[in-house]
Amino acid sequence: MNKVKLISRIGLLGLIVSCLLWSGCQYEAPITAKPTRKIDEKFLGNWISKDEKSGEIVRMKVAKLDDDNYVVFFDKDLYRVYHSDVAGTPFVSVQDLDSKERKYSYSEWKLNDDGTLVGRAVNDKVVPDETKDSTAVQKLLEKNLKNPALFDEPMKFTKEK
């Protein structure tokens, strides 16, 4: 699959889920100050994931906020999410709209050919929470693109019909 096609299949919604499920990934700045591309309508709708350990069902609703941003409702909270590609790699920046601090989290997501959404949150041991600005975040991400420790365990979602 070529890079352009791969990038167009990357979504940003899963970042939210991953970062909500573990305590790290609270950053002062987004990966990029502005979206690097428009939303992809393939990611709009209701998504479901089943936690393999607990059996718990996780639901997420993704809607269009505007041409560049998604709004995501997950676990009774709202998030603004947008594409933040770095060095040809599709990432997303996710902003918690329900917190006073309105901090960010980061992830990489892709939509497989079977329609499964697979997301991997950026590991805060590789990109520390103390990283304060977008330029520093981008440099760390680019430096660690081939580092297997860059991402946490993947989560898988299917679209509800």
Nearest partner of 93 among 45, 149, 131, 55, judged by Cα: 131
Q: How confident is the model at residue 12 (pLDDT cuts 50, 70, 90)?
A: very low
Q: Are 39 and 71 in contact (CB under 8 A)?
A: no
Q: How confident is the model at residue 131 (pLDDT cuts 50, 70, 90)?
A: very high
Buried (b) or exposed (e) across 30-69, using 16+ Cβ within 10 A?
Answer: bbbeebbeebbeebbeebebeeeeeeeebebebeeeeeeb
Q: Dump strand ranges (E) for the chain.
A: 45-50, 57-64, 70-74, 77-83, 92-96, 104-111, 117-121, 155-159
pLDDT at 66 > cutoff 90? yes
Nearest partner of 94 among 153, 6, 18, 38, judged by Cα: 18
**Could you tell me how many residues make up the chain?**
161
- CB within 8 A of 68, min separation 6: which ones? 34, 35, 37, 38, 39, 82
Provide the residue type at 81 as one letter. Answer: V
CA 34 to chain CA centroid, Å, is 15
pLDDT at 135 > cutoff 50? yes
Question: What pLDDT score was predicted for residue 48?
Answer: 92
pLDDT in tens, 14-49: 444 555 443 346 899 999 999 999 999 999 999 998
Residue 61 token pair: 């609703």
Q: Are 74 and 121 in contact (CB under 8 A)?
A: no
Whole-prediction pTM = 0.82
CA 13 to chain CA centroid, Å, is 5
